[in-house]
């Protein structure tokens, strides 16, 4: 803020001097030369102030432990994704905050301990918002639904949506999720048989497939009926237009990362006018998805208007519950559906993909998990209840470790909209705060020296009778040790739904198939502009086991 005010003052002085010279000078050339000189001097003074004076002598955050170097914030985007913040947490002594600043004088704080995380996500949560340029860009895809709303609007939306996501409603959806998981298993078997016919190096009953694609299809077919009463049947359709639209938006590439950076730096009115291919891709795909959501909302509205007796049926999905509540206009409902559709299926699909990766790397755990699942569930076609899966200690341990080690959104930014405090430190308005699940979920301060290891046993205790039971803390001293879904008033409203999807998918795939990496020597690279995804895909060699 001080940098901006200083520059504005210098510019005002420049214009005043230029006007005076223009009125008194006989030469237009002299006027232009002096004006240009004054502008150059002002720019140089601003650079001098920004680079050498503000960060070292004026910035009220200058005394905090800091990452060295003017370009330190750019290291935040190093690969593998978000590993630098974990390195900083390990190597820079701090009391909850690590300071970064860029060459423009913008301060970033990395929150590192319980108090700092609690202040940002709970105690002072509404003192922080997502940076507006990032919000405006992401809204092109997600709409201004719950994820991107702020302040009073967020409180209103959260209150209206909470009943649809209470634990009772989520547990009632297990039968739907399990049914879709069975459809996944059937379609995967078909692809495995096809790959066996086309390959010469596979044993009988084996096949290969890319798990990320199937995980995305599964979660799309779950979120469709659960959120809006529409079954997209992408599992049965190889060329499903909805699945293909999301695929074009989400495939990781350097082009998308650069495009995201441009939209983060420039205002949307300018970024959208740049002759970039991704602008056209986003326009085409979001127009299609928004039109789809508008049609669904319109159909549901007509059904509600025709007969009030359909209220009970309408409550079977989230959109119907929202309509009956009457808190949203149809335009707002479209934004909410875009948010659920785009965010609700892709995040869990990534978790399923990483679960298969970790279990392929740990065949002993995969085998133990298969034994646990089959001991509880006689076959995949058996009906299940939420207790069947939530009571399995190893299944829950595996799922918790997947969410801990591979959070779908590895980092997110907040910006203070007023002067506030974090961990006892005064934070001026305009400071950006980094919340980094990738780093926090692995940090030694919370998880010990083996925080980066896959250890499902963290999440398993023994009851008084010596029986293994799930726990919800993983041995950490605070629930802020795992921030995959964040915490507090802005935590992910669909976290229990995502966990239910992950449990069902992992139980189904592990119960039916044994699997390993198609190429055991393949190195997996993690990328994505906003979320974590394997660049090479998750290609697995799978074998159908005996009847289950």
- Mark the binding-site residues, compressed into ranges: 492
Residues 242, 245, 249, 251, Cα dihedral to 10°: 90
**Whole-angstrom distance, CA of residue 520 vs CA of residue 390:** 32
Strand partners, 435: 412
As given in the structure block, the two tokens for residue 185 are: 């298993």
SS3 100: strand
| Total residues belonging to the chain | 548
Of 365, 372, 353, 327, nearest to 164 (Cα)?
327
Of 171, 548, 164, nearest to 385 (Cα)?
171
CA 99 to chain CA centroid, Å, is: 23
Of 283, 347, 327, nearest to 145 (Cα)?
327
User: Dihedrals φ, ψ of 516, to 5°?
Assistant: -150, 170
Question: What are the contacts of 73-78 at 24+ separation with CB within 8 A?
Answer: 73/100, 73/101, 73/102, 73/106, 73/108, 74/102, 76/100, 76/108, 76/411, 76/434, 77/257
User: Dihedrals φ, ψ of 209, to 5°?
Assistant: -160, 165
* Bind-site residues for heme: 492
Residues 516, 84, 430, 128, Cα dihedral to 10°: 40
How many other CB atoms are found less than 10 A from the CB of residue 212? 25
**Whole-angstrom distance, CA of residue 183 vs CA of residue 218:** 8
As given in the structure block, the two tokens for residue 223 are: 């979120």
Contact of 416 with 429, CB cutoff 8 Å: yes
The dihedral region occupied by 467, where left means phi > 0, alpha psi between -120 and 50, and beta the remainder, is beta
Of 250, 242, 192, 190, nearest to 221 (Cα)?
242
The contacts of residue 223 (CB under 8 Å, 6+ apart) are 340, 341, 344, 345
Contact of 235 with 217, CB cutoff 8 Å: yes
């Amino acid at each position: 803020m001080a940098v901006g005010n200083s520059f504005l003052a210098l510019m005002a002085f420049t214009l005043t001097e230029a006007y005076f010279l223009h009125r008194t000078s006989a030469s237009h050339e002299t006027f232009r030369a002096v004006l240009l000189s004054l502008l150059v001097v002002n720019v140089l003074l601003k650079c001098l102030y920004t680079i050498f004076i503000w960060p070292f002598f004026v910035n009220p955050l200058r005394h905090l432990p800091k990452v060295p170097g003017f370009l330190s914030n750019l290291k935040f985007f190093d690969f593998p994704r978000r590993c630098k913040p974990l390195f900083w947490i390990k190597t820079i002594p701090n009391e909850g905050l690590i300071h970064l600043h860029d060459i423009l004088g913008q301060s970033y704080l990395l929150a590192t301990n319980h108090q700092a995380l609690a202040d940002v996500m709970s105690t002072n949560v509404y003192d922080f918002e997502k940076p507006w340029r990032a919000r405006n860009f992401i809204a092109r895809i997600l709409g201004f639904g719950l994820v991107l709303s702020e302040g009073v609007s967020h409180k209103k939306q959260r209150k209206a949506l909470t009943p649809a996501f209470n634990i009772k409603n989520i547990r009632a959806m297990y039968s739907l999720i399990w049914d879709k998981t069975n459809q996944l298993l059937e379609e995967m078997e078909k692809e495995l048989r096809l790959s066996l016919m086309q390959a010469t190096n596979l044993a009988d009953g084996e096949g290969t497939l890319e798990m990320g694609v199937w995980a995305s299809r599964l979660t799309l077919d779950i979120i469709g009926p659960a959120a809006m009463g529409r079954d997209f049947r992408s599992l049965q359709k190889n060329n499903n237009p909805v699945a293909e639209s999301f695929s074009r938006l989400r495939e990781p590439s350097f082009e998308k990362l650069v495009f995201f950076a441009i939209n983060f730096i420039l205002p949307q009115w300018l970024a959208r006018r740049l002759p970039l291919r991704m602008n056209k891709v986003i326009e085409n795909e979001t127009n299609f998805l928004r039109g789809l959501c508008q049609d669904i909302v319109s159909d549901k509205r007509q059904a509600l208007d025709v007969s009030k007796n359909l209220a009970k049926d309408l409550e079977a999905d989230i959109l119907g519950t929202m309509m009956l509540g009457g808190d949203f206009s149809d335009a707002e409902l479209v934004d909410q559906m875009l948010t659920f559709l785009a965010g609700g299926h892709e995040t869990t699909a990534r978790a399923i993909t990483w679960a298969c990766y970790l279990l392929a790397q740990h065949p002993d755990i995969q085998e133990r998990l298969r034994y646990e699942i089959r001991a509880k569930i006689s076959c995949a076609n058996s009906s299940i209840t939420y207790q069947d899966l939530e009571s399995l200690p190893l299944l829950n341990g595996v799922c918790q470790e997947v969410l801990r080690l591979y959070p779908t959104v590895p980092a997110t930014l907040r910006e203070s909209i007023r002067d506030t405090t974090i961990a006892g430190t005064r934070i001026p308005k305009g400071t950006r705060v980094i919340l980094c699940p990738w780093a926090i979920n692995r940090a030694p301060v919370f998880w010990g020296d083996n925080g980066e290891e896959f250890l499902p046993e963290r999440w398993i205790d023994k009851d008084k009778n010596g029986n293994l039971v799930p726990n919800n803390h993983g041995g950490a001293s605070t629930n802020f040790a795992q921030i995959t879904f964040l915490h507090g008033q802005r935590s992910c409203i669909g976290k229990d739904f995502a966990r239910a999807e992950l449990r069902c998918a992992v139980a189904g795939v592990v119960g039916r198939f044994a699997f390993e990496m198609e190429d055991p020597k393949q190195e997996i690279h993690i990328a994505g502009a906003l979320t974590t995804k394997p660049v090479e895909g998750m290609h697995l060699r799978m074998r159908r086991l005996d009847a289950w």
